[in-house]
Structure 1
Amino acid sequence: MAILTISRQFGGGARAIALQVAQDLGYEYIDRSTMFKDISSEGPRWGTYAKDFDEHYPNVWERNDWSFKAFVALIQSLIYNYAQRDRVVIAGTGATFLLKGVPHVLRVRIESTMEDRINRVQGDQVINESTARWIIEKVDADMARSMYVIYGKEWDDPKEFDGVFNSSTQTQDAIAEEIKKGLAAKEALRTKEALDALNLRAVAAKVKAAILTDPSFTVSYLDVVPKEKGMPRYGLIVRGFVHETDDAQSIKEKVRSIAGDLPLEFDIQYQMLPRFGHFDFR
């Protein structure tokens, strides 16, 4: 089945719409809490990092820290894993940007007026209007910066979505029906070629996460991407800079163990000193 990603404003009513679509179609609903719970299974360090990331926007030093890059790689690998399950609604966490170019993914955004958002936030918590507005503006600013840092995209750019809906001018049922129609149209694009391309991107993300979260490697740059339009017969390209002479060969061996029979091309260079210093995952 087609996949749905939803970009949402805090208090915009998107969660109720996403849950309705998921229930009507028998889809699995996945949001930040699901991902952060799953990422905790990778180790206590990542669970702590997920909690910190959820509570504050990373500063410039944190964004350049390799732990942050590894955390993002883990999140992205999880998103691809969810997408491979089929019949999923993925809310937030940048899935809209990460899955761009996958033909059978419907990418939508839910917006609402500030007045309605304040009312929703106040309805969930006993707070006054000014506090609700402050929370909304802070969450919006943090999410906008995070999406720009990670994906280089403006999180509210309508050109990034297949559809933008306003829960203040449209009913929940009307939006849900439009989304379901969109998913039905996207289902026709769920071809073997589309699935092969998605699976290849998922392997690339898995490889990247595995290398970046391995404390035995000292790297300052790593990229793993499909070589040619996501077609498996062309395989993956692995590029990076390492700072231990033995790491290049060890990384190649680990990549091969994950990628299996996929063709692989490596461009891993040795540099004497890491740009941002050594990191310690322990």
Structure 2
Amino acid sequence: MAVIAMTREMGTRGGDVAAGVAERLGLTVIHHELVEHDIAERAGLSESDVHRLLEGEASLWERWKLDRTSVSRCTAQEIIELAARGNILIRGWGATHLLKDIPHVICVRITAPMVFREQVVMNRLGFVDAMRARREIERSDAAHNGTMQQLFGIDHWSEAENYALVLNTARVPVAACVAHIAELAEEEAFCETELSRSALIDQLILARARQAMDQRFGSKSLQNGFEVNVCNGKVLLSGGSTDEKMIVDAIRLLQGVKGVTGVESKVAYVAFVPHAATQDQSISRAAPQGQGPT
């Protein structure tokens, strides 16, 4: 089942390429309305808030009041959930970053020089002034760059090494771009295998686990004491905490996450005992273990 992640840059004709690839390969193109709706539901926010943040339109006050860690995790989970369905093409939303390590996912960047992009925007929006088109493109690029940095810490998303294929639509016609991507999708290197599917499902379980931890303990729980990793469906919970009940609750919570086959805890429980009224002495011991399928 083909999965293609593609960049979303204004004026590159990437939308035309995506539509052509989807028609040729029988893929579903994910439109921003669906992504924003589902992210808003997961994060408990309004769709307008999510739209403004992801499109770089949020004011300083709106960015301050929104929990960007939560939005980042919800966005990651939504994109990986979509990828796990297969036969899908996702444009934007950090998909090329989130899925670049999954062997069967084809990450594509559609690009073009500014002069070409200006002409495309002028034709589509009816502008007669190239500078007006350039300002619109620069605004869009700045918003996209800001969103990628804020949500995923990505500063160099445009580098060619992040992609399986980079196509310049000023030199390569849309039809040829579609043909190149379709040809790549048929290569054995990008066929879904049991191993590549397992890697994707582990990423999905990790996203679900992080979201569950955020909802139960707050969005800082994975920065303040806990760390979650997943391998072949099994969750490893590590770190340290002074709250033994929270450790037990976390293990039970993770055992109930969809797709988890078992939980192993290596969280160290640290108890602080007053010593000489002015000095604390720490005592640590192994935390309870959690095992077994859900």
The answer to whether TM tops 0.5 is yes
CA RMSD of superposed structures (Å) = 3.2
Q: Deviation per CA, 1:78-133, whole angstroms, max 9, x where unpaired?
A: 11111111111111111111112211011110001212212222233244322221
Give the match for residue 225 of structure 1: 229
Task: Answer 1 or 2: higher relative contact order, Cα 8 Å, separation at least 6.
Answer: 1
Identity %: 21
3-state secondary structure, aligned to 1:109: strand
Give the match for residue 249 of structure 2: 250
Offset at residue 67 of structure 1 (A):
1.5
1:1-282 equivalent positions in 2, closer than 5 A: 1-42=1-42, 45-56=45-56, 67-127=67-127, 128-149=129-150, 150-186=152-188, 189-214=191-216, 219=221, 221=223, 223-226=227-230, 230-232=231-233, 235-239=234-238, 246-258=245-257, 260-267=260-267
Count of residue correspondences: 267
2: distance between equivalents of 1:257 and 1:20?
41
Given the superposition, is the C-alpha separation of residues 270 and 220 from structure 1 closer, same or farther in structure 2, using an over 3 Å criterion? farther
Given the superposition, is the C-alpha separation of residues 201 and 217 from structure 1 closer, same or farther in structure 2, using an over 3 Å criterion? closer
Offset at residue 23 of structure 1 (A):
1.3
Structure with larger Rg: 2
Given the superposition, is the C-alpha separation of residues 223 and 36 from structure 1 closer, same or farther in structure 2, using an over 3 Å criterion? farther
TM-score (norm 1): 0.81
Contact 2:121 2:133 (C-alpha < 8 Å) held by counterparts:
yes
Given the superposition, is the C-alpha separation of residues 243 and 111 from structure 1 closer, same or farther in structure 2, using an over 3 Å criterion? farther
Stretch of structure 1 that moved more, 86-95 or 1-10: 1-10
Stretch of structure 1 that moved more, 85-94 or 65-74: 65-74
Stretch of structure 1 that moved more, 243-252 or 130-139: 243-252
3-state secondary structure, aligned to 1:41: helix
Contact 2:22 2:89 (C-alpha < 8 Å) held by counterparts:
yes
Matching residue's letter, 2:107: R
Given the superposition, is the C-alpha separation of residues 194 and 139 from structure 1 closer, same or farther in structure 2, using an over 3 Å criterion? same
Offset at residue 3 of structure 1 (A):
1.1
Q: In structure 2, list runs of 5 or more residues that go unmatched.
A: 272-294
TM-score (norm 2): 0.78
2: distance between equivalents of 1:193 and 1:104?
10
Matching residue's letter, 1:195: R
Q: In structure 1, list runs of 5 or more residues that go unmatched.
A: 272-282
Given the superposition, is the C-alpha separation of residues 217 and 93 from structure 1 closer, same or farther in structure 2, using an over 3 Å criterion? closer
Offset at residue 56 of structure 1 (A):
2.5
